[in-house]
Amino acid sequence: MDWTELIFKTIFLIIIFVVTLVVAMYSTYGERKVAAFMQDRRGPNRAGPFGLLQPLADGLKMFMKEEIIPLTANKNLFIIGPSIAMTTALLTGVVIPWGGTISIGGRIFSLQVADLNIGILYVFAMVSIGVYGIMIGGWASNNKYALLGAIRAASQMISYELAMGMSIIALVLTTGTLSLHEIVSQQHGMHWNIFYQPLGFFIFLICAFAETNRAPFDLPECETELIGGYHTEYSSMKLGFYLFAEYINMFISSAVIATLYFGGYNMPFIDQLGLSMNTVTFIGTFFFFLKIFSMIFLFMWIRWTLPRFRYDQLMNMGWKGLIPLAMFNIVATGIYYFFTELK
């Protein structure tokens, strides 16, 4: 890797970092607006035009709040918890292909920070580490509600990761690769994986909701029974980190879903337009973000529609519903490819 490549990657990394944070920031605004609209309200509209400065005000408020570390808490772990949640949430973005290739001064750069040949596994690893943030935070708080929330989060994540992994196995059977870049380029045109793996997509989507702790799976932080779940004892920006990590996770999982099932930065009829490479990449990235935002909207739409599951219902659905379904999906996909490859 030479210097220009390194410089480009560094700049690109910083851009992704900033974009992720900004999108997550405005997801909080979007969430409040969507919630308000679905409840026939107006939503935040006082800070700035259409309330667009609301996220800044919220962030400022978080910084201004008093920082409390409970006396009985394990101080180091108490601080490490939100840090892990935030870090792992941000780390996933590096393997996602944000666009095609662009040429700057005759050199060609790919709009993906790291094209790992095991991209999907990397995403999974990061998501799995993410649960440690919640676990450690909940445990270090030394509070029964926080601990209960953490336990719920852990068991929920483990249960749904199984089904999620199995739906991915079926996808890998279809694509034949684990690299996200490869998966996206295979979906060129309208060969989106959702048409080949509708059931897999369905399972993956449900699991994505569970993995990001979004409603109807927000049991770890259900305020009616657990006060605030794992972040009961947190205040100030450490609480802000937890809440923010949730929105980053939502953004990243939307990006992963768009990459895996909706063709990533591909858009239909792009080849027929006869545009230059940079333009195509630009439009593709725009289209990719459009897909991501639609997914985020779906996340919010579901959150403000459905009530929370009961814990036994959650476990029932994970173990007795989704895992057999995902297994069936693998077998069906396997059989299909076994017989079609034979011919």
| Nearest distance in Å: CB 103, other proteins | 42
C-alpha dihedral, 50 to 55 to 57 to 60, nearest 10°: -170
Other Cβ atoms within 10 Å of 20 Cβ, number = 20
| Nearest distance in Å: CB 60, other proteins | 23
Residue among 107, 117, 114 at smallest CA distance from 3: 107
Checking 101-110 for CB contacts under 8 A at 24+ apart, the result is: 101/277, 101/281, 102/277, 102/278, 102/281, 102/282, 103/277, 103/278, 104/8, 107/4, 109/5, 109/8, 109/12, 110/181
Give the integer Cα–Cα distance in Å for 197 and 194.
5
Q: 16: helix, coil or strand?
A: helix
Which among 54-62, 110-118, 186-194, 303-311 is the span making contact with other proteins, rule CB under 8 A? 303-311
Q: Which is nearer to other proteins, 231 or 303 (CB)?
A: 303
Q: Which is nearer to other proteins, 49 or 274 (CB)?
A: 49
Contact call for residue 278 and other proteins (CB under 8 A): no
**Residues in region 310-339 near other proteins by CB under 8 A:** 317, 321
Give the integer Cα–Cα distance in Å for 58 and 37.
20
Give the integer Cα–Cα distance in Å for 202 and 166.
12
Give the integer Cα–Cα distance in Å for 184 and 194.
12
| Nearest distance in Å: CB 302, other proteins | 7
Q: Which is nearer to other proteins, 109 or 297 (CB)?
A: 297
Binding residue for other proteins (CB under 8 A) from 304, 311, 315, 319? 304
Binding residue for other proteins (CB under 8 A) from 305, 328, 331, 335? 305
Q: Which is nearer to other proteins, 61 or 320 (CB)?
A: 320
Which among 22-30, 134-142, 260-268, 296-304 is the span making contact with other proteins, rule CB under 8 A? 296-304
Which among 88-96, 188-196, 271-279, 302-310 is the span making contact with other proteins, rule CB under 8 A? 302-310
CA 98 to chain centre: 14
Binding residue for other proteins (CB under 8 A) from 17, 63, 301, 336? 301
| Nearest distance in Å: CB 40, other proteins | 6
| Nearest distance in Å: CB 291, other proteins | 19
Size of the site for other proteins (CB under 8 A): 15
| Nearest distance in Å: CB 304, other proteins | 6
Across the chain, where does the E strand assignment appear? Answer: 101-104, 107-110
**Residues in region 17-46 near other proteins by CB under 8 A:** 34, 37-42, 45
H runs (alpha helix) in 41-113: 54-64, 75-91
Q: Which is nearer to other proteins, 40 or 341 (CB)?
A: 40
Backbone angles phi, psi at 88, to 5 degrees: -65, -35
Binding site for other proteins (CB under 8 A): 34, 37-42, 45, 301-302, 304-306, 317, 321
